[in-house]
Amino acid sequence: MNPFYIFLIRVVLAGFFAVLISRIFYPDANPAYMAGLGIFLVGMAYVLEAIRKSKTKE
């Protein structure tokens, strides 16, 4: 799969879960908080992928 499509899928899913998580735990959160949470989730997806790939090479 093209890396750009993987990035788009991760962004869409992170946005969905950021809104869901923030609405459950912080109903009055502003959109900047949700955007920050979405960026954090996408970043963590790439960090965990790098960790998983480094463990399979060893």
Query: In this predicted structure, what is the pLDDT of residue 28?
Result: 92
Domain encompassing residue 52:
3-57
Instruction: Tell me the whole-structure pTM to 2 decimals.
Output: 0.87
Cα–Cα nearest to 7, from 36, 35, 37, 49: 49
Query: In this predicted structure, what is the pLDDT of residue 10?
Result: 97
Measured over the CA atoms of residue 12, residue 17, residue 23 and residue 26, the dihedral's sign is negative
Contact 22, 29 (CB under 8 A): yes
Read off the tokens for 30. Answer: 């502003």
Residues 9-53 have pLDDT tens digits of 999 999 999 999 999 999 999 999 999 999 999 999 999 999 999
Query: In this predicted structure, what is the pLDDT of residue 58?
Result: 66
Q: In the chain, how many domains are there?
A: 1
Contact 42, 11 (CB under 8 A): yes
pLDDT band with cut points at 50, 70 and 90 for residue 57: confident
Q: How many residues does the chain have?
A: 58
